[in-house]
Amino acid sequence: MSAKVAKSSKPASKEPSALAKIYLIAYNAVQVGGWSYILYQLVNYYLLQGPEFRAQITLWDYTRVAVIIFQNAAFVEILNAAFGLVKSNPVVTGFQVFSRMMVVVGVVMATPTGKVSPGLPIALFAWAITEIIRYGYYALNIVKVVPHFVVFLRYTTFIALYPIGVTGELLCFWYAQSYARENSVWSTVMPNKLNATFSYFAFLWIVMLGYIPIFPQLYLHMFAQRRKILGGGSSAASAEKKKAH
């Protein structure tokens, strides 16, 4: 009786349907292609082209179409998590997705200073490498063919790339808030029909300060996932040797 109760208390995780798997593979593959193209654009802009090219067009003007499409398409991940198509936590996924969407839509697209912030290439570089690895891992994981080096990259590169990306994001916010401070852009003051007030400048600072409590939690969450997937120390190494024998 007790054995049956224990068994029923751990229901097997439901596998997505064949149609859902095709959709998820297609979505992740498209994102890998999109972010690979953005990474190519970064390399081409800074390394393959000369100063004359960069004088004619800004990085944002060069990459904006691809960045707007593929970064904002990440909103689909929240829906995938919410509907149980993937095992990700929808709350954690929501924080990660909205922070980047805010940088693209609410900072870079919204202000001229955000477009020329030195944080933009830093953020795009970190995002591109992270997303190529992450979406590639997801696509391979669906068909259950994930090379160990891909798993290692997925749960190791974030250690450097996550802080680098956040640094780039905050630099974009910093350049945007300087513009918002001097210009009443995207703000509403009373009196008005809505009988409400909104300060874009204050909003930017609220979001920036929000990184202080949220970033460490997300960063530590990734370390917890890394320990869960990769293990650590000599115990993990010995376990691998036992499996090999």
Distance CA 79, CA 102 (A): 18
Does 162 participate in catalysis according to the annotation? yes
Cα torsion through 181, 185, 188, 191, rounded to 10: 90
Does 240 participate in catalysis according to the annotation? no
Q: Which of 169, 175, 179, 200 is catalytic?
A: 169
Q: Going by C-beta distance under 8 Å and a sequence separation of 6 or more, which residues neighbour residue 85?
A: 16, 20, 23, 24
Q: Which of 23, 37, 162, 219 is catalytic?
A: 162
Distance CA 31, CA 73 (A): 8
Pick from 39, 172, 158: nearest CA to 102: 172
Which helix (H) or strand (E) segment holds residue 28: the answer is helix 18-43
Pick from 125, 216, 227: nearest CA to 169: 125
Pick from 87, 96, 91: nearest CA to 138: 87
Distance CA 209, CA 204 (A): 9
Amino acid at 231: G
- State the DSSP code for 188: B
Q: Annotated catalytic sites, by residue? A: 162, 169
